Structures are given as structure tokens and as C-alpha cells.
Structure 1
Amino acid sequence: MTSILDAGGNPIKPDVPTLSEDIAKAYVTGVRNPRPASVASTITPHRLAGLLRSVVDGNNPQDYMTLAEEIEERDLHYASVLRTRKLAVAALPPSVEAASEEAEDLRLADEVRKLMTGDQIPELFFDLLDGLGKGMGVCQILWDTTQRPWMPKDYTWVDPRYLRPDPETLSEILLISDDAPQGAPLEPYKFIVHLPRTKSGSIWRNGLTRLCAVMYMLKSFTIRDWWAFAEVFGIPIRVGKYGTNATPEQIDTLKHAIGSIASDAGAVIPESMKIELVETAKGNGGNTLFENMARWCDEQTSKAVLGQTMTTDDGSSRAQAEVHDEVRLDIAKWDARQLEATINEYLVKPFIILNWGVQAAYPRVCIRVPEPEDLKLLVESITPLIDRGLRVSEGALRDKFGLAAPDDDDAVLQPISAMEMQALQPVALNRKAAAKRLAINRIQQSSEAIITELTDEAMSDWVELGGEEFMNPIIELATTSASFDEFNAGLLALQEQLAPEAFVQQMADYMFRTRGLGDAQDG
């Protein structure tokens, strides 16, 4: 264990208490306050510009992180598309690859597989992918150091409002606390830091919230004006009329009645007074202007988060949506590639090092995004190649279709042989022709005429099976038999050699046609 070093090259002792403690917890009485003031409710263009500059300049990014959290809570569309992108990767089961085929590397890979089967792994992936919106996703590892091997007993999400950039390079992430209000470096082997790269440059300029914040602000203004417009042009104007002799008390009664109509949908007035509801105009297209503006903001948000709009906004055809799904698939692959790199660097390596020391190579966690595949096209393409001798693994094909290998006592489907297909094909063709002729004759002829025609056709088409193919074996048997009993016994054996296929085919043809005639007449 003396070979385990932290980021500064100092040895880590096995009994370090911070490995098992929650050192990023928030308290209402501390510098890490879990109840910060709202930002989104008072957002303006001037304030938003200041928030974006504060993060780049290395100032307090707490308000910006609060805004990122509130946008995800307030904007239903942004929350939906961002959650879709997160779950596209977080829901994938991870796999583990050993560093080599050596026995020790295989054993370490098995230990990592046990680590990846934990119930907290999907939640860990989801919390780390919070960095897609905010630019960074940080989780804390709570190690169980009471037994070997040391295993994470839980993972806790670290609120990015408690993180700061270092004042010199603005590249290192610091954690604020009561002892270090300006921030201190993260403890080694304690934190998992995911920095998804949505653009090149500073990590503090990354994150989808930076792209979508302006759209959120414009949309919030649009929604606010939309409802104000609806109050003016969406509700009929209430006009009260009173006579020239009305007293002030009667006028006050009419005013009260007009106000009651808006809230109570009813009022009581004297018979001599009148109230009219005058429907307002449409505001010169204003009823659709605000909707189009809000939809445009949503479409820009979809482009930023998913890379496309057709599957979320336009309601376009399936073919168009599938083309754009490929773009989203590329984004999902990129997110998965970065997430697995984070897991390998900040979880797998510490897990191996803390338990078995530094290794020359480490097992790798892989997160593979499955690509949609047209299985019908695969079957149609590969079947002719198999018929021509291509050897294909049954296990590989079963995996593609999600089929398990059958057990020895399972009933399995049997393939139709080529000979059976050839034998069935002429019968099927003749049945089609017979059905077609029956349909025509049914319209033009009576049932008696049809039966007569079928009888004549059967007699004219009859082929007597008495040629060489049928008679030669019988003549040869009679010549070589020494007695009648021997000849009679040989006839039974010849039944398996004589070929009645033509007779059976003719009988099946005419029986099918007559049956079809009877069904048609019955109907």
C-alpha cells in the first residue's frame, strides 16, 4: 500500500478518513448553502450577460449554476430533450474488458465487473451526465474501508454551485468549504469528475446551458407577453348600458355586475339595464405570432441538445426522422465514449490501486451504444451467401435476433428442404391457375356446365402411367421370380420405387378446383 500516491506524489495511508466520509455535504449554516436565491425569475439580458461573463472571468459561478438548475426545472422542452440525451447513455449496461489474457488481468477484470453490477451505477452515470448541461458533473465516492477489497458503498452528486475555478489558470476545479471559502483542490481517489466536451476551449465555457440560456430568456419573455395578449384579446369586452335616469347606486350595481361576470360567470342587474359581451378582434395575427416565436425557441434548443428537430418538434415523416436519428446516434456515441473514459480514470483506476496497487495496465469499462439494424435486410442479404457456402456463426446471428440457443429437449422449428420446396412449387402454381379459371368460369357459366367442362378436361389431360418408368420394374420382377409367392412379395417392395407423383398432382389439381367450385356455389 506504500506505492499508492495522490496527485501530488504523496503516499496515501489506508486509514484516510476522508475516503469514507461525505466531505461535500451542504448545510444551511455553512458556505455551501443548499437553498440559494432564485436567478431565473429575475433574468434580464443585462444580468444574463453578466452571469456568462462571471464564469469566464473566474468570478463566482454560483449564480450561473443556479440558473442552469432552474432552467432545467422551469422549461419543459429543455428538460425533456436534455433528459433524452442523458438517458440515451445512462440506461446502457456497461461491459468490462481485461487488459490482457494473463490470469491476473482476468482476475482484476472480474473484480471490476462486480463493481459495475452495483445498483448505484445507473444513477452514477445519470448524475455524471449532469455535466452535459452545466459543463461539469462531479460525484463523490463514499468508500467502505471496513473490509477488503474496498468498495464504494455509495456515490453522491456534488452540487456544481459549490465548485470554483482556480484563480491562476481557471482550469482546476476547487471545492468550497467553511475552512476554504475560496475553494480547495479535490481529494484524490475521492471524486469522479466528468467534463463532457461539447466544444473546444475552457471547461467553464462548455455546457449546453450556455447555448440555451438566451433561448430560455427569449421564450420566457414570449410566454409572458403571450398571456398578456390573451387577457386582452382572448376575453370578450363586457359593456354595461344604463338609462339616462339611472341613479349613482344603479350605476354602481352595474359596475359590480360587470366585474362579477369575469370571476363568477354570472350577475344580477335590474331589468332596465343591459350587459353586452363584444368579441374582440384577433389582434392582426397576434394569436399565432407568440406561438411561432415560442416554437422557434424550442427548435433552436432541440438543435443544441439533440442536434436535430424532426423527432421532437416538426412531426415529420418516419423516413426523415430516421435520418436525423443517425445524427443523434453520433452524439450518443460521443457522450458514451467520454463517460467511459471518465469512469476508467476516476473510478476503475482508484478501485484497482487502492486494493491491489499500481498496475502496468488496467481493465476498461466500455459503454457501447447499439446501432439500429434492419434484421430483415440482413436475412435477405445473407441467405444467398449461406446457400453458396459462406460459413456464419449461429451464435452471432442468435445474438443479433436476441434468441437463446435451444436445449436438447426443446422442440425446434425445422427448415423446409430444397426438394420439398421444388415439389410444392408446381402444385402452388397449378392451384393459382385453377383458382383464376374458376373465378372466370363462375361469372360466365352455370355449375352444371362447369362440372362437365372439368370432367372433359380431366379425361383429355389424363396421362396413363403405364410407360417404361412404371412397367419395366414389374416385367423384370416377373422374369426373375421363381414362384408366384416370390413375385407377390416383390410387388410389395416395388411400391416404394414406383413414382405416382404425376397422378397425385393431377388428382390434387382437380380436387382443389372442384372444392373451390363447391365453396363458391355455397357462398
Structure 2
Amino acid sequence: MLKMGKMNNLVILAPKTRDNTKYKTVTPEKFRQAFSAAQGGRPAALYKIMDWFLSMDGHLAGALQSRISANTSGDSSLIIQDKTAKNENALEILKAALDGIKLRKLKTALLKANYYGARAVELIWAETRMNGKAIIAPVGFKNLPHDFIYADKIRKTDDYKSVFVGAEPLENYDRGHVLLFTAGDADDYSDPDFTTFGRGVSAMRYSIVKYFDVEDWAAFNEVFGMPMRLGILKTGAGEEALKRLEEAVHNLGNDASAVIDETTEIQFPEVNKYSSKAAYEALSEFCNREISKAITSEALTGGEGKTGTYGAMQTANGIRLDVAQSDAAELDDLIQENIINVFYEINFPGLEVPKMKTAIKAAPNLFQQSNIDKNLFEMGLPLSVSALRKRYDAPAPVDDEDRLEKTQNSLFG
């Protein structure tokens, strides 16, 4: 096992082979190769393609930032039950240490795993003095390169690959050296497939539509699978024609060949490369909505369809509240195990170890709330005008000229 001891920092060694791939442009063939490598446990090239799309697509970058900010804007607390002088003093020293490593930046670095699938940092520990006491504390961190994260067999006789960070399997590092945050877990009895981690692959499908032409879409889509196939059964066709159509659509998914009769038709829906500006804008807006859903896990909120639930309405920075809270809980556990617990084992053995808890609060969805208030008003439920004005930050008009009149009954009076 690799040991940190009380003061010795471990330098994370680079993998035996490095991936020096650089992309100024992305082609379907480059994407195919990177996708295949990531499925086999080497995601570095795919991560660099994700970098390229992140730099190109402002909506994609914004969606990821919203997902990150939903967590980093939350309030993190360190909780102890036995508030003795020793415990309180140790707690203050811990808080100072966490401030020193810039905890928010650390969380930001790790939360990018929601896009890439995995991110890793190396913690730096050093001897320092806080509140007059000499301690060993984390004083910073280093973001590890994309190609430091991969999967390989630890022993040639192993049935499955394990996750590596640098030159060593993750399991070889003692707590406190490496923080690896993954958006998704590998099955115990299979090789890690990095294309299934995170939401970047899903989001990139829609960025491809925005930034490439129809021919490129088809080439990129071969990496994901066949395009959508639409079978049309013409009026008057019988059961035999229906059976032949179903077989034809199925065969197209297997070998791109099929035989149909004149009573049936198969279409491959696509967007005309030379369509009007309005059609392109509509397509771009659709892609942006799908990117938001992929990265932020938006579902039945703000820009969704006509139906929704109260639970889905609860959001934090535009992110579904349950998703943001899950991110926070996983990060809290990672920091608790690798920083807080290790810090106390080294410096304050025997004292109560604080528990980290990040509170993610719901931000009201005023669009959804206004629909609820409107429905209650139309049902005849008495509502408070002052409460409504406060909720929507809508002050009363200062005089008659300032009043916006409505011909029908107004919800706000």
C-alpha cells in the first residue's frame, strides 16, 4: 500500500503511457475512435472531444455551470454534538483548513464529473500552524489530467479491469491522497465503460446537430446507432402488410436492407440542410432544451410541456432539487472520508469528528407557482393580494397612471 504517514506527500505518478491527443476540430472518425477507446476503459480522447464541444457550445457550458452552481451556492455546515472546549477549538481549526484549500473550487473541479463522467484531484498536505497549534492539514489540490483516469487489469489473471488514477489502481491509495468523483458506478462484475458515466455523451448528440451538417449527423450517429425509422402503413393495407412492414423496419436496424410492398412506406425523418432560418432556430432551441435536460436533469420544470408535478417543480438554480441534493450528499461523503476524517486521525485522535452537511434549498419556480395560484383563484379560493404581491415582488401601483388594467377579473386585484 502507498502510505502518506504523518507528513509525507505522495506524488501521483503519471500512467506508463500518456495520451497526447489534441483536437482543433472533431470529425466522425475521431469521435468513433474515442468512443470505442472509452468503452474499453481509456476515456482520455473522449474527454478531450468533450472539451472541444464545451468550448464551442455556450449553452452546453452554461448548463454545466448551472449544475455546478446549484451545489457550490449551498451552505456547508460542520456539525458536532458534544460542544466541549476541545471539540470547539478543533472545529475552528478544521474550518480554517478547509478555507485554506478553497473548498468551493475543489467542489467545482469535482462536479465537472457530471459532464465528463469522472474527475480526479490530488490533495496536497503540509505542516502548518493554526490557532497556535502545529498541525498537518490539506493546503491545496491539483487537478489531474484527463489521461490519469482509466481502467486496466491490476493483474493479468484478473477477470475484470479496475479504475486507475495515474500509475496505480485507485484502491492502492490511502485516504487523503486522491479524490475521484464519478457520475455513475461501474458494475462489480464487468469492465468500466466510461461512455455510460456522466451526461456529456448524451448532451453532445445535440451539439452535433447544431454545429454539423446533415451528412455529418449521419456519420456521427453511426457511433450511437441507427437513425429513427418511421414505418407508414397505407390505408387499406391488411395484417400481412403490417407484418411485412414491422419486419422491414427491424431489418433496417440490423443490416440496413429491407423489402416492402407498395402498400407500405418507410421514412427516415431528417432536417433539411437548406431549411429556412425559422426552421433552424426551432431545431437549435429544441437541441438546447435537450442539452439542458441531459446536463441539469431538468424534468417537468420551466420549459417543459404542459404537465408537471409539484415535486419536479422544486429546483435549485434551475436544477431539480433532488438531483442537486444528491450531488451535494455524494460530495459531502467524499470530503468527509478523505479530508475531515483523515485530518482528525492525524491531528485530533479521540475527539469527536464533525459531520459535513451541505444544505441545498429549493428556489421557487414562479412560472409553475403562478399557474397554481391562478387555478386556485379560478376555483374560488380566497387569496391574499398582499401575499401574492410579496411572492412575485409586484408592488402596488403608485397612482392611476401607473396602474395596468385588465378587462377580466385580475388575480392580483
For the aligned pair, the TM-score class normalised by the smaller chain equals: 0.5 to 0.7
Paired residue secondary structure (1:117): helix
Cα drift, residue 80 of structure 1: 0.5
Do the aligned partners of 1:192 and 1:347 also contact (CA within 8 Å) in 2?
Answer: no
Partner of 1:439: none
The CA distance in 1 between the partners of 2:346 and 2:6, in whole Å, is 8
Partner of 2:72: 90
Partner of 2:251: none
The CA distance in 1 between the partners of 2:278 and 2:186, in whole Å, is 35
2:108 matches 1:126: yes
The CA distance in 2 between the partners of 1:24 and 1:110, in whole Å, is 34
The 5 A counterparts of 1:14-163 are 14-18=6-10, 23=12, 36-38=21-23, 41-44=25-28, 47-58=30-41, 60-98=42-80, 100=82, 105-118=87-100, 120-145=102-127, 148-163=134-149
Do the aligned partners of 2:315 and 2:364 also contact (CA within 8 Å) in 1?
Answer: no
Cα drift, residue 107 of structure 1: 4.6
2:285 matches 1:295: yes
Partner of 1:341: 333
Do the aligned partners of 1:52 and 1:210 also contact (CA within 8 Å) in 2?
Answer: no
* Distance 1:287-1:324 versus aligned 2 partners, 3 A rule: farther
Q: Identity over aligned residues, as a percent?
A: 16
Partner of 1:220: 211
Cα shift readout 1:174-193 (whole Å, capped 9, x = no counterpart): 314xxx8x999546422222
* Distance 1:224-1:122 versus aligned 2 partners, 3 A rule: farther
Cα drift, residue 138 of structure 1: 1.2
The CA distance in 2 between the partners of 1:95 and 1:362, in whole Å, is 13
Do the aligned partners of 1:136 and 1:195 also contact (CA within 8 Å) in 2?
Answer: yes
Cα drift, residue 78 of structure 1: 0.7
Spell out structure 1 runs of 4+ moving beyond 6 A.
Answer: 198-201, 223-226, 309-312, 319-322
Do the aligned partners of 2:79 and 2:354 also contact (CA within 8 Å) in 1?
Answer: yes
Do the aligned partners of 2:117 and 2:198 also contact (CA within 8 Å) in 1?
Answer: yes
* Distance 1:140-1:71 versus aligned 2 partners, 3 A rule: same
Paired residue secondary structure (2:180): strand
- Tell which has more relative contact order, 1 or 2 (C-alpha 8 A, sep 6+): 2
Paired residue secondary structure (1:308): coil
Which structure would you say has the larger Rg?
Answer: 1
Partner of 2:152: 166
The 5 A counterparts of 1:440-455 are none
Cα shift readout 1:50-109 (whole Å, capped 9, x = no counterpart): 423322322x32201111222221111110011111011123231101265566555543
Cα drift, residue 171 of structure 1: 3.4
Do the aligned partners of 1:99 and 1:362 also contact (CA within 8 Å) in 2?
Answer: no
2:293 matches 1:307: no
Cα drift, residue 295 of structure 1: 2.2
The 5 A counterparts of 1:319-398 are 323=313, 325=315, 328-357=320-349, 362-372=353-363
Paired residue secondary structure (1:145): strand
Cα drift, residue 284 of structure 1: 8.4
The CA distance in 1 between the partners of 2:274 and 2:150, in whole Å, is 50
Paired residue secondary structure (2:75): coil
Partner of 1:195: 182
Q: Which moved more, 1:291-300 or 1:78-87?
A: 291-300
The CA distance in 2 between the partners of 1:15 and 1:112, in whole Å, is 17
- The one-letter amino acid paired with 1:363 is P
Q: Scaled by the length of structure 1, what TM-score is found?
A: 0.48
* Distance 1:285-1:132 versus aligned 2 partners, 3 A rule: closer
The CA distance in 2 between the partners of 1:283 and 1:142, in whole Å, is 52
Do the aligned partners of 1:223 and 1:290 also contact (CA within 8 Å) in 2?
Answer: no
Cα drift, residue 142 of structure 1: 1.3
* Unaligned ranges ≥5, structure 2: 218-271, 370-413
* Distance 1:293-1:324 versus aligned 2 partners, 3 A rule: farther
- The one-letter amino acid paired with 1:38 is Y
The CA distance in 2 between the partners of 1:193 and 1:170, in whole Å, is 17
* Unaligned ranges ≥5, structure 1: 1-7, 227-281, 378-523
Partner of 1:480: none
Cα drift, residue 37 of structure 1: 1.1
Cα shift readout 1:95-134 (whole Å, capped 9, x = no counterpart): 1012655665555433322333336111111111111111
Cα drift, residue 351 of structure 1: 1.4
* Distance 1:65-1:367 versus aligned 2 partners, 3 A rule: same
* Distance 1:89-1:203 versus aligned 2 partners, 3 A rule: farther
Paired residue secondary structure (2:326): helix
Q: Scaled by the length of structure 2, what TM-score is found?
A: 0.59
Q: Which structure dedicates a bigger proportion of its chain to helix?
A: 1
